[in-house]
Every structure is written in structure tokens, then in C-alpha cells.
Amino acid sequence: MDEDNPDYLVHEIFTQSFWKDHPLGKPILGTKETVKRFEQPVVSEFYGQRFYPGNMIIAAAGNLKHKQFLDMIREHFEPMKPARMAMLVLRRRSCRALPCATRRPWNRCNSVWVCGVSIAHEKRFVCYVLNTVLGAA
């Protein structure tokens, strides 16, 4: 279904091309093949390696019974062991044209323009404005 959405597809093609041979270039939803191989133990192990008390926030709102809610949270999360995940360091990418196209019977053209500066760069707001002017989703 996502492959039939031009906005989604153009970003998937861009990401896979830009981050070629890197985990960030993989489809965020997975491929048909990877999703078919999902099994409970594998998914549980993956989450067990990445979610731990130091990087989780549990919040609730609405008409609930506070003690009952805390008891439920303790039951499910108290057994978790503290851990620390290493930071992922990405090597800098150079800017380059990534020619890629797909032929679909759509009545419009979709493209990806990247204005990449550090999140702390003093001119990052220029990129935000450009993003909006060019039709950010």
C-alpha cells in the first residue's frame, strides 16, 4: 500500500539511495520478506536490548485508578534491568545527486531536496523556511 503513495515512495527511494548499504537506508516498516519472518522471540529480544528504565517514560491520562495503574506498571516493568545503550555515530555524508526514478501513472512529479545543516547551526531556520516553501508534508 505504501508503494502506491507517491509522497511516501519518493522518500523511501531517496533514503535507500542516500544511505545505501547502511541500516538507515532500510525501509522503516520493513520489507515484505523481513516482516514475514517476524517472530515473537526475535521482536522481544530486539526491544529488550533497546528499551530499559533509563530511556523510557510512562505516562497516563484520563479517568484511571492511580494505584491500579502503578501496580500494572510495576508488574510489567519492574523486572527490567538498568542498562546503557551506546550512541550510534554516523559518518558524515557528502552532498551528491542521487538519480533515481520510478515510472508510475501519476499526474505529478515528486522530488526530494535536502538542505542539511547541523541542528545547532545558526542558519538552520533558513532550511526550515525553504522546506515549507517547497511544500513540506
Query: So what's the pLDDT on residue 66?
Result: 92
**pLDDT level of residue 49 (50, 70, 90 thresholds):** confident
Are 134 and 113 a contacting pair, CB within 8 Å? yes
Spell out the domains of the chain, with CATH numbers in brackets: 2-98 (3.30.830.10)
- Please list, in sequence order, all residues whose beta carbon lies within 8 angstroms of the beta carbon of residue 27, skipping any fewer than 6 positions away: 12, 16
Backbone angles phi, psi at 116, to 5 degrees: -110, 115
Q: For residue range 106-126, what is the model confidence (pLDDT) as tens digits? A: 566 666 766 677 778 888 888
> Maximum Cα–Cα distance for the chain, whole Å?
57
Best CA proximity match to 22, nearest among 87, 84, 88: 88
Q: For residue range 50-63, what is the model confidence (pLDDT) as tens digits? A: 888 878 888 999 99
Q: What is the length of the chain?
A: 137
- Please list, in sequence order, all residues whose beta carbon lies within 8 angstroms of the beta carbon of residue 37, skipping any fewer than 6 positions away: none
pTM for this model (two decimals): 0.43
